[in-house]
């Protein structure tokens, strides 16, 4: 083997030696890419759940904030409603207290009026011309027949008119209602002077109305304080042809 052959062999070996490293660098590059991809996958697998959790927490926070505002609005409305209820309760208590005071004052006035009437009407009560009774809320006065109200008439007698005005004067300015109830029986309508009344209903109503008109005209009682009605009696001759009730 000549010199040139040895040189050629040496050059080939040198070429092989020089050309070999590039093959190793390519492998390393692939490994580097794989490592980078693996690292990226790890990062993605680690941070993606965190990101999703963060978004979920943000959504829950928004929901809680909205719910908190709604609760606050409801609380404010409830507080306002409670304040209105408290104000209404206080107003009702004040009204009830005022009404209670007015009722107690009216009862006291009625008790004083009952005492005054008992004294004023004592002579007529003793003679059984008037029957007087009372409760906590009313005074009832019955006009007995025939002295104060005759069976053959639709209006009180002169003495009956005088008694009505005496009662009205005794009542004075007391805040009471005058309720007049006339009475009549079927035998009353058979009286010649009462033929114009077809039934005890008509006659009893006329007796109550005539007494009411007398109270308003002659006794100066306010018409708004007078109530009147009639009530037929089952008795052949009613003991009281007129009942006057004074009430609160």
pLDDT per position as a tens digit, 184-221:
888 887 887 788 888 888 888 999 999 999 999 999 99
Q: How confident is the model at residue 179 (pLDDT cuts 50, 70, 90)?
A: very high
As a whole number, the mean pLDDT across the chain is: 79
Residue 89: the pLDDT is 78
Helix (H) or strand (E) holding 184: strand 177-184
Question: Is the domain covering 121-247 a CATH 3.40.605.10 domain?
Answer: no
Question: Would you say 209 and 154 are in contact if contact means Cβ atoms under 8 Å apart?
Answer: no
Residue 77: the pLDDT is 86
pTM (two decimals): 0.58
Provide mean pLDDT across the span 7-35: 57
**Dist CA 100 CA 108 (whole Å):** 12
Helix (H) or strand (E) holding 109: helix 3-120
Look at residue 141 and tell me whether its pLDDT is greater than 80: yes
Residue 26: the pLDDT is 65
Domain ranges of the chain: 1-104, 121-247
Q: How confident is the model at residue 122 (pLDDT cuts 50, 70, 90)?
A: very high
Residue 4: the pLDDT is 54
Closest CA to 212 of 221, 204, 203: 221
**Dist CA 244 CA 211 (whole Å):** 9
Residue 15: the pLDDT is 44
Other CB atoms within 10 Å distance of the CB of residue 26: 10
Provide mean pLDDT across the span 7-29: 54
Provide mean pLDDT across the span 161-174: 88
Q: How confident is the model at residue 75 (pLDDT cuts 50, 70, 90)?
A: confident
Lowest-pLDDT range, 14-18, 163-167, 240-244?
14-18
pLDDT per position as a tens digit, 50-73:
777 777 888 888 888 888 888 888
């Amino acid at each position: 083997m000549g010199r040139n052959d040895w040189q050629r062999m040496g050059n080939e070996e040198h070429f092989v030696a020089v050309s070999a490293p590039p093959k190793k660098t390519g492998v390393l590059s692939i490994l580097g890419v794989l490592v980078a991809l693996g690292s990226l996958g790890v990062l993605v697998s680690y941070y993606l759940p965190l990101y999703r959790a963060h978004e979920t927490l943000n959504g829950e926070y928004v929901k809680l904030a909205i719910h908190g505002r709604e609760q606050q609005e409801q609380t404010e409305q409830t507080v306002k409603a409670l304040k209105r209820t408290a104000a209404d309760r206080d107003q009702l208590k004040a009204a009830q207290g005022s009404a209670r005071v007015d009722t107690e004052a009216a009862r006291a006035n009625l008790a004083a009026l009952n005492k005054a009437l008992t004294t004023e009407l004592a002579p007529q009560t003793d003679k059984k011309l008037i029957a007087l009774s009372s409760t906590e809320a009313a005074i009832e006065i019955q006009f007995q027949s025939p002295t104060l109200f005759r069976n053959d008439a639709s209006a009180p007698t002169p003495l009956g008119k005088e008694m009505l005005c005496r009662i009205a004067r005794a009542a004075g300015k007391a805040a009471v209602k005058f309720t007049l109830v006339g009475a009549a029986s079927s035998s009353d309508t058979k009286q010649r002077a009462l033929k114009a009344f077809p039934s005890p209903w008509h006659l009893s109503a006329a007796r109550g109305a005539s007494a009411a008109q007398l109270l308003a005209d002659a006794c100066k009682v306010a018409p708004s304080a007078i109530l009147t009605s009639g009530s037929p009696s089952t008795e052949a001759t009613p003991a009281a042809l007129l009942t006057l009730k004074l009430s609160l």
